[in-house]
Amino acid sequence: MGLKVAVAAKGLKGLGDEVSDVFGRARAFTIVTVEDSKIKGAKVVDNPAASYEYGAGPIVTKMLAEMKVEIVIAGEFGMGASVLLKDKNIRAVKVKAGTNVCRAVDSVIK
């Protein structure tokens, strides 16, 4: 089964997209499957909480946990989201917003 990495993305372009500066209200998430330190596949999932003013973190965290995601990459994580992710044993990794999604995943799995 491989490692699942979710990247908070600015749009719907998958591996060619850019990392969002926010986690909970990112436009979408690129869910990347990694095996033997190599990217095996990716799919884009709309963020159901993208337009929420409050409470986006718990909704997104629950969705990612149900998808068996183990690592999340974003430009920034709020305090609440960080605690929620930790509770679900999902590792939060900050990278510079605007980083290419594929490059961000590579930097985390190497």
| Domain total of the chain | 1
Answering whether pTM is above 0.75, one says yes
The angle formed by the CA atoms of residues 15, 16 and 20, to the nearest 5 degrees, is 85
Taking only the tens place, the pLDDT of each residue in 29-56 is 999 999 999 999 999 999 999 999 888 9
Q: Model confidence at 1, in pLDDT bands (50, 70, 90)?
A: low
* CB proximity list for 80: less than 8 A, separation 6 or greater: 57, 58
Structural domain of 26 = 3-109
Taking only the tens place, the pLDDT of each residue in 72-109 is 999 999 989 999 999 999 999 999 999 999 999 999 99
- Domain CATH for 93: 3.30.420.130
